[in-house]
Amino acid sequence: MFVTLDERVDPAEAQSELQALGVWPTAHQDESGRIVGFALAAHSAGVSIERLGAVNGVRQVLAPQSKHPLLDARANRPVEVAGLRIGDGPPVLMAGPCSVESEEQIRVAAAMVAAAGARVLRGGAFKPRSSPYAFAGHGALALGWMRRAADSHGLAVVTEVMSEADVDLVAEHADLLQVGSRNMQSFALLRAVGAAGMPVLLKRGFAARIEEWLLAGEYLLDAGAAGVIFCERGVRGVDPQTRNVIDIAAAALLKHVHGLPVVVDPSHAVGRRDLIPVIGRAALAAGVDGLLVEAHPDPAAALSDAAQALGPDELATLSFVPVPEDRNRARIRYRQPPFWS
């Protein structure tokens, strides 16, 4: 973005007014050394073109055409999931097992995540697995089990859709449709999921650039999605000790510069239960709108992603505290780390 200046104004005054808005101006001079305008980098907040145009001394605002106008038009607006607003209030906890393994397992898991302050139950019915021989979920059966378990605790349901053929079935049971990391650029699936007209949780592809992730969100909105919540779940790095490399800067960029609803999935990001609470807190400190966390009543028995499943006690360490007067909201209680005292 670039602003040109009126010749009669003092560039220093225009510069400080621009800085006060939270943008970062870099001066451009003509051959005689006179400052004729500023290139603007988004700093901590999205500022509207109208507001920039109203700065004293700004003659013209030159903005490149956006590649994702539908997303931009929704900046700073929350996404509603079964009456729960995500994006403009306290962070929301979404939790549950990697896979829905049985009716009993998801019933116990729902009670456990509700007790930890979660508002959304997660669980895979259709699982993307690297091996064709691994447990791939109970499909339609699991959707019914999960819906009943969630309803008995007033929880919303988020679950993955892997195939265009399953969109209607999943949409009948879920409140939030999940597009997984491996499918972030499955464009036909994005169109089919968007056409369901529901809110969508869009995981970042494990090798996707931020712009590609945004464009995948634009696909969903263009197809009719009611809203898009972006989920950072880590990108592939070089070291297997953590499953992926968590990109908190990407989450912060989408949240603070683009004004989009963002949650972080520390479970798939780090792949090991010991680091999940602390990385979750790091994401919350960056201002994200919630966490998506894998939790299992008996992690050792989990049929998928056992190493990253939190048990009931570990889930409680996330310290999501339901606010009694408004059960739609959850608040994070930060424990002061020792190095701050």
Contacts with ligand PEP by CB under 6 A lie at 98, 124, 128, 160, 180-181, 203, 233, 265, 268
Best CA proximity match to 164, nearest among 194, 135, 203: 194
Closest residue to ligand PEP: CB criterion: 180
3-state secondary structure of 308: helix
Between CA 182 and CA 189, with CA 188 as vertex, the angle to 5 degrees is 50
Does position 232 interact with Mn ion (CB under 5 A)? The reply is: no
Query: Amino acid identity, residue 274?
Result: D
Q: Which is nearer to Mn ion, 57 or 271 (CB)?
A: 271
Q: Which is nearer to ligand PEP, 15 or 267 (CB)?
A: 267
Which of the choices Mn ion, ligand PEP, none does residue 160 contact, using the CB cut-off of 5 to 8 A by kind? ligand PEP
Does position 98 interact with Mn ion (CB under 5 A)? The reply is: yes
Ramachandran class of 81: left when φ > 0, alpha when ψ lies in -120 to 50, beta otherwise: beta
Helices (H), 196-275: 210-223, 248-252, 266-270
Part in contact with Mn ion (CB under 5 A); list of ranges 81-89, 221-229, 237-245, 297-305: 297-305
Smallest separation (angstroms) from ligand PEP to the CB of 303: 12
Q: Do residues 73 and 34 make contact, with C-beta atoms less than 8 angstroms apart?
A: no
Part in contact with Mn ion (CB under 5 A); list of ranges 91-99, 152-160, 191-199, 284-292: 91-99
Which of the choices Mn ion, ligand PEP, none does residue 281 contact, using the CB cut-off of 5 to 8 A by kind? none
Does position 220 interact with Mn ion (CB under 5 A)? The reply is: no
Q: Which long-range contacts (CB under 8 A, 24 or more apart) does 310-314 make?
A: 310/95, 310/267, 310/273, 310/276, 310/277, 311/273, 312/112, 312/115, 312/116, 314/273, 314/276, 314/277
Q: Please report, to the nearest 10 degrees, the dihedral formed by the alpha carbons of residues 189, 191, 197, 199 taken in order.
A: 60
CA atoms within 13 A on the CB side of 133: 0
Residues contacting 225, CB < 8 A, separation 6+: 193, 194, 196, 197, 198, 199, 200
Q: Which is nearer to Mn ion, 18 or 98 (CB)?
A: 98
Which of the choices ligand PEP, Mn ion, none does residue 233 contact, using the CB cut-off of 5 to 8 A by kind? ligand PEP
Q: Which is nearer to Mn ion, 116 or 293 (CB)?
A: 293
3-state secondary structure 163-191: CHHHHHHHHHHCCEEEECHHHCCCHHHHH
Smallest separation (angstroms) from Mn ion to the CB of 270: 12
Count of residues that bind Mn ion according to CB under 5 A: 2
| Neighbour count for residue 23 (Cβ, 10 Å) | 22
CA 277 to chain centre: 17
Part in contact with Mn ion (CB under 5 A); list of ranges 15-23, 69-77, 283-291, 300-308: 300-308
Which of the choices ligand PEP, Mn ion, none does residue 181 contact, using the CB cut-off of 5 to 8 A by kind? ligand PEP
Q: Which is nearer to Mn ion, 101 or 305 (CB)?
A: 305
Q: Which is nearer to ligand PEP, 63 or 301 (CB)?
A: 301
Q: Which is nearer to ligand PEP, 55 or 263 (CB)?
A: 263
Smallest separation (angstroms) from Mn ion to the CB of 258: 27
Smallest separation (angstroms) from Mn ion to the CB of 334: 27
Question: By the criterion CB under 5 A, which residues form the site for Mn ion?
Answer: 98, 305
